[in-house]
Amino acid sequence: MPDKPDRNAIEVVKVSKIFGSGEGQVAALDTVSVSIRENEFFTLLGPSGCGKTTLLRLIAGFDFPTAGEILLYGQDIAPLPPFKRPVNTVFQSYALFPHMTVAENIGFGLEMLGKPKAEIKARVDAMLKLVKMEALSARRTSQISGGQQQRVALARALAPQPKVLLLDEPLSALDYKLRKEMQIELKRLQHETGITFIFVTHDQEEALTMSDRIAVMSSGKILQVGSPRDIYDRPSERFVADFIGESNFLKAEVVGVSGGRATVKLSSGTEIPASLPEGLVPQGKVTIVVRPEHAQLSAANSGASLSGMVENIVYLGTDTHFHLRLADGEPFIVRRQNSRGTGDGIVQGGKVGILIGGDAAQVLKD
């Protein structure tokens, strides 16, 4: 792993983007601030319409912010046109030039930068090798497959050695198997080139597997920024918990806060410890989240945090999902990894105890 110094490649400072005017105006981005570190694989994750593509377009220069600054290594690039920014984009539709060959496509950026012919050729050859497309360099872009077009688009954007590479849902047009391959390929490319990647996706699995850090976005705001593990284990808001993975939401009451952790009382009366989002000092009624695989089941009720009735058991090969109904009527799902030959007496319609361990619960901001 290349070391990741705390130097910021991109700083987005209080950026807003408002489309339309008067009554019909829509804030695609609402005072968004985020810092993206050098050499980082950073993902903007969110549902469609959350503003992630707008933010990418602002960094690329295809659109200009209504307010705020975008700093590239400290220099404000927000007013610059795209051709003056040392930032390149991999487009969702690839946008390869149909009247040029694969090699001409890859060399285009260098040519526009006025590099000497010999340097362009050497760099194009290196890029072709990097994305394993040497054999097809003389082909037209219409004569190669979707996966190959994807590689050419990557090589074309990487060839001018941009300070930051922007990727706008580049894998969404590929089939499942190819997408998996390209995920690993992208990680390899980022590792080998040492370029900062900003990746936009709505696919949470893609975000979790590839990113160093993720920013979860919704309705023009960034809700949480953190490592995949942070985002998954310690979601700060209900939206984040809901959007990424499966979640159980429980109503609880705060009975004490100390050292960044809280003690909360569940509806069953049991008190359990719960972690807190950064900067939150909760009081009164809160919602906590428990991931289905972070809770355990026991056939006996004693010592359990909650008790419930088994409504449904879904066997999925690698693991089993237990759909439970709690005493207060709320649903609760527990996921357990399967091993061979287990029979633990948990049956549909039976009563079970649910254990929520010391580090399984997280208090949400909302």
**Smallest separation, CB 99 to other proteins (Å):** 5
Candidate ranges 23-31, 79-87, 243-251, 306-314; the one touching other proteins (CB under 8 A): 79-87
Does 140 sit near other proteins (CB under 8 A)?
no
User: What's the Cα-to-Cα distance from 224 to each of 97, 215, 218, 232, 241, rounded to whole Å?
Assistant: 37, 6, 10, 11, 11
**Out of 39, 54, 88, 248, which residue is the one contacting other proteins (CB under 8 A)?**
88
Q: How far is CA 351 from CA 82, 162, 260, 265, 303, in A?
A: 62, 59, 35, 22, 14
Please give the size of the binding site for other proteins, defined by CB under 8 A: 24
Question: Is the CB of 96 or the CB of 310 nearer to other proteins?
Answer: 96
From 57-65, 220-228, 292-300, 318-326, span contacting other proteins (CB under 8 A) = 57-65
Dihedral sign for Cα atoms in the order 103, 91, 184, 222: positive
236 DSSP assignment: S
Q: Any contact of residue 62 with other proteins (CB under 8 A)? A: yes
Q: Between residue 156 and residue 215, which ones bind other proteins under the rule CB under 8 A?
A: 156-157, 160
Using a 10 angstrom Cβ sphere, with 0-12 exposed, 13-18 middle and 19 or more buried, the burial of residue 233 is middle
Residue 58 CB, nearest approach to other proteins (Å): 13
β-bridge partners, 43:
199, 214
Q: Give the Cα separation of 90 and 167 in Å (integer).
A: 5
61 binds other proteins (CB under 8 A): yes
Considering the rule CB under 8 A, would residue 19 count as an interface residue with other proteins?
A: no
**Angle at CA of residue 251, ends 248 and 256, nearest 5°:** 115
Q: Does 53 bind other proteins (CB under 8 A)?
A: no
113 sits near other proteins (criterion: CB under 8 A): yes
For residue 361, which amino acid is it? A
Site residues for other proteins, 90-109, by CB under 8 A, read 91, 93, 95-99, 108-109
Q: Order across the sheet with 351-356: list the strands.
A: 295-298, 351-356, 306-315, 319-326, 331-337
Distance (Å, whole) CA 86 – CA 164: 7
Q: Which stretch binds other proteins (CB under 8 A): 55-63, 220-228, 275-283, 306-314?
A: 55-63
358 makes contact with other proteins (CB under 8 A): no
Number of C-beta neighbours around residue 331 at 10 A? 12
When asked if residue 20 is in the footprint of other proteins (CB under 8 A), the reply is: no
Shortest CB 293 distance to other proteins, Å: 41
Nearer to other proteins, 85 or 213 (CB): 85
Classify 126 as helix, strand or coil. Answer: helix
CB under 8 A: which stretch of 81-89, 246-254, 288-296, 323-331 binds other proteins? Answer: 81-89
Residue (162 or 245) nearer to other proteins, CB: 162
Q: Residue 64, interface with other proteins (CB under 8 A)?
A: no
**Closer of 95 and 178 to other proteins (Cβ):** 95
Can you tell me which of 26, 67, 112, 327 binds other proteins, judged by CB under 8 A?
112
Distance (Å, rounded) from C-alpha 28 to C-alpha 353? 45
Shortest Å distance, C-beta 94 to other proteins:
9
**H helix intervals, 26-175:** 52-60, 102-112, 117-130, 146-158
Using CB under 8 A as the binding rule, whether residue 151 contacts other proteins is answered as no
Name the percent of the chain in helix, strand, coil, to the closest 5: 25, 35, 35
Residue-wise DSSP of 329-351: S-EEEEEEE--TT---S--TT-E
Chain residues that interact with other proteins, rule: CB under 8 A = 60-62, 81-84, 87-89, 91, 93, 95-99, 108-109, 112-113, 156-157, 160
